[in-house]
A and B are shown apart, each in its own frame.
Chain A
Amino acid sequence: MTLPAAQLTGISKRFNAVVANDGVDLVLRRGTVHAVMGENGAGKSTLMSILFGLLSPDAGQILIAGRPQVFTSPLDAIAAGLGMVHQHFKLFDSLSVAANVVYGAEPRRAGLFDRRAAEARVRELGERYGLQIDPRARVSSLSVGERQRVEILKALHRDATILILDEPTAVLTPGEVTTLFAVIRRAADAGTTVVLVTHKINEVLTVSDEVTVLRDGRVTGHFLTGETSSAQLVHAMTGREVRPVSNPGLGSPGATVLQVRDAGVVDAGITRVRSVSFAVRAGEIVGIAGVSGNGQHELVEAILGTRPTQSGTVELLGADVTRWTVRDRRLRGVAVIPEDRRGEGSAIGMSITENLALGHHRTAPIGAERGIRRGWISVRAARAEARALIAGYDVRTAGEQQSVGSLSGGNAQKVVIARELSHNAPLLIAEQPTQGVDVGAIEAIHGRLLDYRAGGGAILLVSHEISELLALADRILVMLDGALVAEFSRADATTAGIGAAMAGLAAQNLPNGSRP
């Protein structure tokens, strides 16, 4: 059978001025693993949303098994045999695995929901594709890797012949990635067509049969995996050879700025951070590696004070701030670039000036700490400050009174980074500072972090990009299931070593007291 499973021709989609897809062609051959590659913003997600019926294209045609299709909703796509595992899982936490898998296509008996049949179906699919999971478990009790299996089972339950996986490995440990790839192979061998959306070259080379590369909304390369190389893929993705990561010297650590001792965080009965201890000194970048969801974010929240600790202490510049409010900690000297820039790091309905002013509004020049102006705000000073930061950080905007929501993602992110860096706080916490940023901006941000360190700042860098940590951090701590399980100095840190620790395969150089 030579008819492709799916054929997309001339797909175009624009959002106002932004061209997300421009005449994209994609041919998915039956029973193959087809990687769709590209950097952030290259148009992969838009293309997949169109294929899955979440967006309708401005132009172009979709053929599924030779038949033209117009999807007005994912329902149409599902009916045509497509299934999609989104990057952010779409699961019902309070329901069981079986209920999640069959939701919307439930087996029935006498008009009632047939729970037994649903559970049997999950077991049967699990055995067929190597996706073992307890059908009765509540999703809220599952690990990230298990949740992903539920997502895949959902698609398989609906007899998907084309399975789209959107950045499936971003949330997995290396061990789980191996398992996933085995599942992918098994599904492809059974005749399912798998689309793997990713920007990681080694994954593409490991598991795919074919690769289509996107850049700026266009196809810039199509290869058979066996006939291509990583250099060729990089060139197609970026249009240039990527320079090797700059390797700046080590910092020169001074006095301790942050000292965390035995910190524990419990959220809704689940332990997120267990007995974590470490220190960050002035003039040092300490990295925290780990698959996302292993307690890094909760640890950051505990240091900033937006989340209470159940045990242990947090010391900032020698003072025990464990019971302090966020405001007092910030005044003492901590700034945070949060992971969720849009939801936590900004108010998109407010102006750039107002977004930049938060946290600076009680100190000169915008506010005043004492005297007759205490508690008052100078709007003029706030606007002047905003203009200076907009210029200094190259925020592209029509003016400082524009709303942050009107900015592009990258520029909105610069507003957050500008605000936090301009505190010149002794401690800077940067969570995934380069996530969702284009290559040029990554270099700029890395440069700023290194300057910050050179100026005597202490930086806690949380990232799930091992390469980023290797490029910047003086020391790297690995977090797994809420605990620090390994520490590497720059000298003996390797991708393999850190990856193994992230997966729980090795524990070395344990910092004192980080084990429960």
Chain B
Amino acid sequence: MHVFELSFVAAVLLAATPVLFASLAGAISAQVGVFNIALEGQMLWGAFAAVAASYYTGNPWAGVLAAVVSTAVFALVLAVGAARWKADPIVIAIGSNLFALGITGFLMGVLFDVSGSFSPRGLVGLPKMQWLHDVPVLGAVFGGQTALVPLALVLIVVVGLWLLFTPHGLRLRGVGEHPEAAASLGINVPGYQFWVTIAAGALCGFAGAQLSLGNVTVFTENMTAGRGWIAVAAVMLVAGRPLWLPLACLGFGAAEALGFRLQGVGAPQQLTDAAPYLITILVLVLTRIRIPRRTKASLTA
């Protein structure tokens, strides 16, 4: 096992990318005070929409577009319910996750007459950035990846900086911290929550598309397999600092990539499947132990 090979870095990044998109979706929702646990179902829907559209058009980018747009529409339920009508976002999310699980399986049966998984001949996945191959380091890390992989990283940085340095970013942060205060200054709080929730849906569309057309070229029932929950955990981990998301998600990616390698040397798949969850829980616990100590120390010093 050669952990420090660039190919391993590439594998980590590949595994982490869907979670990166989804965790950015969760993080911006958290910034406006919407506890978004609908990521799992939205990502699943996005994955299905991407495969379906790519299959019908023969163009994987049409798949990405369909995933992004239709998942944003999918997010309307949460956006309208939680932002406009003040309904419980947790219950809506549980319902919409279940709905996504059902409707993707249902449509797979109705549209393609298959169950379990769908990977027909003629389903085109996203192209890899082969042209990077000759560039040192970058080629090894990104050469085998889709363009969505660097896009995820760039988006996180852009959104993170946008939050910090633009008037709208400032307003957005205020909306989540103290909605009444923002409203008293004429900020349309439900409006921010609504559009951010929709944008989060679009990001989950990217996450799904990368999953079903980038990481693999297939749609399988419940293929997100808990990645949306890992993303929620990553959001908790960075506690309002989206720029730290890559660190949190790459940890997950590393666990998954390591799992694949361990499977390669004979470790049972069941146990490597559990590793990302175990690591996520452990990291959450460990950071929770350290944070209070640090703040105490810094304040008494």
Does A touch B (CB under 8 Å) in the complex?
Answer: yes
Q: Which residues does A use to contact B, with CB under 8 Å?
A: 73-75, 78, 84, 86, 90-95, 99, 103-106, 108, 111-113, 154, 268-270
The interface bits of chain B over 179-195 (1 if a CB of A lies within 8 angstroms of the residue's CB, else 0) are 01111111100000000
Contact indicator A92/B295 (Cβ below 8 Å): no
Q: Which residues does B use to contact A, with CB under 8 Å?
A: 165-167, 169-171, 173-174, 177-178, 180-187, 295-296, 298-300
Select B170's contact among A73, A84, A103, A111, beta carbons within 8 Å.
A103
A residues less than 8 Å from B184 (CB atoms)? 74, 84, 86, 90
B residues less than 8 Å from A104 (CB atoms)? 171, 182, 185-187
Query: Which among B165, B178, B300 has the greatest number of chain A C-beta atoms within 10 A?
Result: B178
Query: What residue in chain B is nearest A266 (Cβ atoms)?
Result: B296
Contact indicator A94/B177 (Cβ below 8 Å): yes
Contact indicator A154/B299 (Cβ below 8 Å): no
Query: What residue in chain A is nearest B162 (Cβ atoms)?
Result: A112
Contact indicator B165/A269 (Cβ below 8 Å): no
Contact indicator B166/A113 (Cβ below 8 Å): yes
A residues less than 8 Å from B166 (CB atoms)? 111-113
A68→B22 CA distance, assembly (Å): 49
B residues less than 8 Å from A91 (CB atoms)? 178, 181
A146→B273 CA distance, assembly (Å): 54
Query: Which among A75, A91, A92, A270 has the greatest number of chain B C-beta atoms within 10 A?
Result: A92
A-B pairs with beta carbons under 8 Å apart, 7 shown = A78-B186, A92-B178, A103-B170, A103-B185, A104-B186, A113-B170, A269-B296
A355→B170 CA distance, assembly (Å): 42
Count of A-B contacts judged by CB separation below 8 Å: 63
Asked, given contacts A90-B180, A111-B166, whether A78 binds B185 with beta carbons under 8 Å apart, the answer is yes
CB distance from B240 to the nearest CB of A (A): 8
Query: What residue in chain B is nearest A52 (Cβ atoms)?
Result: B184
A272→B186 CA distance, assembly (Å): 34
User: 8 shortest A-B CB distances, which residue pairs?
Assistant: A75-B186, A90-B181, A104-B185, A269-B299, A106-B167, A113-B167, A92-B177, A90-B184
Query: What residue in chain B is nearest A107 (Cβ atoms)?
Result: B167
A residues less than 8 Å from B167 (CB atoms)? 106, 108, 112-113
Contact indicator B185/A269 (Cβ below 8 Å): no
Query: What residue in chain B is nearest A115 (Cβ atoms)?
Result: B165
Contact indicator B174/A112 (Cβ below 8 Å): no
A106→B295 CA distance, assembly (Å): 31
A94→B295 CA distance, assembly (Å): 15
Contact indicator B295/A269 (Cβ below 8 Å): yes
Query: What residue in chain B is nearest A108 (Cβ atoms)?
Result: B167
Contact indicator A113/B177 (Cβ below 8 Å): no
Select A74's contact among B165, B174, B186, B299, beta carbons within 8 Å.
B186
Asked, given contacts A90-B184, A269-B296, whether A106 binds B177 with beta carbons under 8 Å apart, the answer is no
Query: What residue in chain A is nearest B178 (Cβ atoms)?
Result: A92
CB distance from A112 to the nearest CB of B (A): 5
Contact indicator B181/A92 (Cβ below 8 Å): yes
CB distance from A482 to the nearest CB of B (A): 15
A75→B187 CA distance, assembly (Å): 8
A79→B187 CA distance, assembly (Å): 13
Given contacts A74-B185, A91-B181, A103-B174, 10 further A-B contacts (CB under 8 A): A74-B184, A78-B185, A84-B184, A93-B177, A104-B187, A112-B166, A113-B165, A269-B296, A269-B298, A269-B299
A510→B94 CA distance, assembly (Å): 58
A106→B185 CA distance, assembly (Å): 12
B residues less than 8 Å from A103 (CB atoms)? 170-171, 174, 182, 185, 187
Contact indicator B165/A112 (Cβ below 8 Å): yes
A86→B170 CA distance, assembly (Å): 22
CB distance from B30 to the nearest CB of A (A): 13
Query: What residue in chain B is nearest A111 (Cβ atoms)?
Result: B166
A94→B240 CA distance, assembly (Å): 11
A95→B186 CA distance, assembly (Å): 18
Contact indicator B170/A106 (Cβ below 8 Å): yes
A residues less than 8 Å from B295 (CB atoms)? 268-269
A106→B298 CA distance, assembly (Å): 32
Query: What residue in chain B is nearest A89 (Cβ atoms)?
Result: B181
A residues less than 8 Å from B186 (CB atoms)? 73-75, 78, 104
A106→B187 CA distance, assembly (Å): 12
Contact indicator B174/A95 (Cβ below 8 Å): yes
A106→B169 CA distance, assembly (Å): 11
Query: Which among B183, B186, B187, B296 has the greatest number of chain A C-beta atoms within 10 A?
Result: B186
B residues less than 8 Å from A108 (CB atoms)? 167
Query: What residue in chain A is nearest B184 (Cβ atoms)?
Result: A90
A residues less than 8 Å from B173 (CB atoms)? 92, 94-95
B residues less than 8 Å from A111 (CB atoms)? 166
A73→B165 CA distance, assembly (Å): 28
B residues less than 8 Å from A90 (CB atoms)? 178, 180-181, 184-185
A residues less than 8 Å from B185 (CB atoms)? 74, 78, 90, 103-105, 154
Query: Which among A86, A90, A91, A93 has the greatest number of chain B C-beta atoms within 10 A?
Result: A90
B residues less than 8 Å from A93 (CB atoms)? 177-178
Query: Which among A75, A105, A270 has the greatest number of chain B C-beta atoms within 10 A?
Result: A75
A75→B184 CA distance, assembly (Å): 8
Query: Which among B173, B174, B295, B299 has the greatest number of chain A C-beta atoms within 10 A?
Result: B174
A residues less than 8 Å from B296 (CB atoms)? 269
B residues less than 8 Å from A92 (CB atoms)? 173-174, 177-178, 181
A270→B296 CA distance, assembly (Å): 9
A268→B300 CA distance, assembly (Å): 11
B residues less than 8 Å from A95 (CB atoms)? 170, 173-174, 177
CB distance from B220 to the nearest CB of A (A): 42
A94→B186 CA distance, assembly (Å): 20
A404→B186 CA distance, assembly (Å): 33
CB distance from B86 to the nearest CB of A (A): 16
B residues less than 8 Å from A84 (CB atoms)? 184
Query: Which among B173, B180, B183, B185 has the greatest number of chain A C-beta atoms within 10 A?
Result: B185
Query: What residue in chain A is nearest B295 (Cβ atoms)?
Result: A269
Query: Which among B167, B187, B295 has the greatest number of chain A C-beta atoms within 10 A?
Result: B167
A78→B183 CA distance, assembly (Å): 12
A residues less than 8 Å from B183 (CB atoms)? 74
B residues less than 8 Å from A154 (CB atoms)? 185
A92→B181 CA distance, assembly (Å): 7
CB distance from B190 to the nearest CB of A (A): 12
A74→B298 CA distance, assembly (Å): 40
A105→B171 CA distance, assembly (Å): 10
CB distance from B165 to the nearest CB of A (A): 5
A residues less than 8 Å from B181 (CB atoms)? 90-92
B residues less than 8 Å from A113 (CB atoms)? 165-167, 169-170
CB distance from B242 to the nearest CB of A (A): 15
B residues less than 8 Å from A75 (CB atoms)? 186
Query: What residue in chain A is nearest B177 (Cβ atoms)?
Result: A92
